[in-house]
């Protein structure tokens, strides 16, 4: 009988900047630093779905800036932050639409400036570690290089980047058809550039070389070549100073600082779950005191085994390449940790397909040596190949105990 090999899938959950293999420079650095704070906006209308872009401008109060014409009179919208694969934003639209229930974040429109074509949305939640983009103290000068990120509707990819040069900054009046029967009239200070823009980019950030927000993508001149307009940041500051925005509360109403409390709110560690009958019950029970020690040290280990992967994508997982299977287990792992309210390490084993998945969060990665997740995965894979899963799990627990605090400060 042929022995099926154990396929490991290892995942480091890290902030996007920490995933870079080498230091980016120029436009690549601007993009890498800002893309995690750029969002894809979905606004449902009577005539269908309208999409645009936006920028996180206040992490504590979870505020996103976009255009009025992206949200119009819709009081609620859904936004998507970029997910990452190998340190890069996942650009395929279907990745997000297929996972909209899990990845979509609901938001409430809290302020509008219809004249300047701006809107502010407060989100129900934001990803851990995401930072707001600062508003620049001054407008750019003609000749300065600027950078923009957006989600052009005609592009096959999300979170696209382009750069350009400022042509002029001036006061402008213009009209735009929002529908067959509705025409909006705008007036605002604008930045004119030679940056190409497209429908869907609207609401996204225009950034200077410091990565500061200098404008908000509005649109392009249809009868001219490379003439695009961005609402100047002075209009943004005016909107942020209004009562509607000032009255929006942050996460911590006492001092206005971000909520830094850990995800874990339990008083006891999560007991191992061995539905796949992989481990010896007595040996698994004997590990519980050590698991409790890890829990007290804020380095919880969650252990789960299952006879099969989730039924909804079992067939897909069986046929998947190792990279594709890793993505599937990544989603499942994130869902499992959220379900059990843990921010610890997850070890999940399935018998069909035979897979060992280790999920290691960024917060813990800093407390352990380099390539520690890989070491845990290699330890488990070797133990399973040697038909000694209990010894492998015990070694993983020991490694977690011995390695704690030996990472980079």
pLDDT score recorded for residue 361: 79
- The structural domain count of the chain equals 2
**The pairing of beta strand 273-274 with beta strand 301-308:** parallel
The pLDDT value given to residue 263: 45
Are residue 58 and residue 151 in the same domain, yes or no?
yes
Return the CATH number at 315: 3.10.310.50
The CATH number of the domain holding residue 107 is 2.40.10.120
- In 289-353, at which residue ranges do the beta strands (DSSP E only) sit? 301-308, 345-352
Task: Say how far residue 292 (Cα) sits from the centre of its chain.
Answer: 31
Residue 126, domain member (yes or no): yes
Mean pLDDT per block of 10 residues along the chain (409 residues) reads: 48 39 74 96 86 96 96 94 90 91 93 96 92 95 97 92 96 86 90 92 96 92 77 96 92 46 65 93 93 91 92 84 85 82 90 90 80 90 93 94 77
Q: Are 197 and 171 in contact (CB under 8 A)?
A: no
Report in angstroms the alpha-carbon separations of 121 from 235, 261, 289, 350: 16, 24, 46, 41
Residues 6+ apart with CB under 8 A from 85: 327
Same domain, 291 and 206: no
Q: b/e per residue, 353-371, with b = 16+ CB within 10 A?
A: bebbbbbbbebbbebbeee
Last residue within a domain, chosen from 246, 272, 307: 246
Concatenating the DSSP letter of every residue in 209-262 gives TTS-EEEEEEEE-TTSSS-EEEEEHHHHHHHHTSHHHHT---S-TTT-------
For 309-333, how does the pLDDT look when each residue is reduced to its tens digit (9 = 90+)? Answer: 888 778 888 888 888 888 888 888 8
3 within domain boundaries = no
CA-CA distance, 296 to 328, in Å (whole number)? Answer: 30
Residue-number span of the structural domain to which 178 is assigned: 17-246
- For residue 54, being part of any structural domain is answered with yes
Please state whether the peptide bond connecting residue 86 to the residue before it is cis, i.e. omega within 30 degrees of 0: no
**What does the block give as tokens for 377?**
């995965």
d(CA 156, CA 152): 8
Q: Which two tokens stand for residue 244?
A: 């509607």
Q: Model pTM? A: 0.64
User: Based on the domain organization, do 225 and 343 belong to the same domain?
Assistant: no
Q: Decide if 40 contacts 153 (C-beta within 8 A).
A: no
Predicted pLDDT of residue 221 = 67
Containing 160, the helix (H) or strand (E) segment is: strand 160-177
Residue 359 forms beta bridges with which residues? Answer: 11, 346
């Amino acid at each position: 009988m042929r022995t099926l090999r154990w396929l490991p899938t290892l995942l480091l959950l890290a902030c996007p900047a920490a995933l870079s293999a080498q230091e980016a420079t120029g436009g690549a650095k601007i993009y890498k630093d800002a893309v995690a704070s750029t969002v894809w906006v979905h606004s449902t209308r009577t005539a269908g779905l309208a999409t645009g872009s936006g920028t996180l401008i206040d992490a504590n109060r979870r505020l996103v800036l976009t255009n009025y014409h992206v949200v119009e009179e819709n009081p609620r919208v859904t936004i998507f932050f970029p997910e990452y694969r190998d340190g890069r934003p996942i650009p395929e639209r279907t990745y997000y639409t297929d996972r909209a229930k899990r990845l979509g974040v609901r938001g409430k429109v809290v302020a509008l400036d219809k004249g300047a074509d701006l809107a502010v949305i407060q989100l129900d939640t934001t990803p851990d570690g995401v930072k707001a983009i600062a508003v620049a103290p001054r407008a750019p000068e003609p000749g300065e290089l600027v950078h923009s990120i957006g989600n052009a509707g005609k592009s096959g990819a999300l979170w696209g980047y382009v750069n350009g040069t400022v042509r002029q900054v001036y006061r402008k009046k213009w009209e735009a058809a929002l529908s067959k029967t509705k025409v909006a009239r705008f007036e605002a200070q604008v930045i004119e550039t030679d940056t190409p823009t497209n429908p869907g980019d609207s609401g996204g950030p225009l950034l200077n070389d410091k990565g500061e927000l200098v404008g908000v993508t509005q649109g392009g001149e249809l009868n001219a070549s490379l003439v695009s307009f961005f609402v100047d940041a002075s209009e943004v500051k005016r909107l942020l100073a209004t009562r509607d925005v000032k009255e929006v509360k942050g996460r911590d109403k006492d001092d206005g600082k971000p909520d830094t409390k850990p995800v874990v709110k339990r008083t006891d560690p999560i007991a191992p779950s061995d539905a796949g009958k992989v481990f010896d019950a007595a040996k698994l029970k004997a590990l519980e005191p050590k698991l409790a020690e890890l829990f007290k040290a804020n380095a919880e280990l969650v252990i789960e085994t299952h006879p099969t992967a989730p039924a909804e994508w079992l067939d897909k997982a069986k046929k998947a390449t190792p990279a594709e299977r890793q993505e599937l287990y990544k989603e499942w792992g994130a869902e499992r940790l959220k379900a059990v309210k843990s921010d610890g390490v997850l070890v999940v084993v399935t018998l069909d397909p035979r897979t060992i998945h280790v999920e290691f969060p960024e917060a813990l990665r800093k407390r352990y040596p380099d390539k520690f997740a890989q070491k845990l995965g290699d330890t488990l894979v070797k133990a399973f190949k040697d038909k000694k899963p209990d010894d492998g799990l015990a070694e993983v627990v020991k490694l977690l105990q011995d390695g704690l605090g030996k990472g980079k400060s």
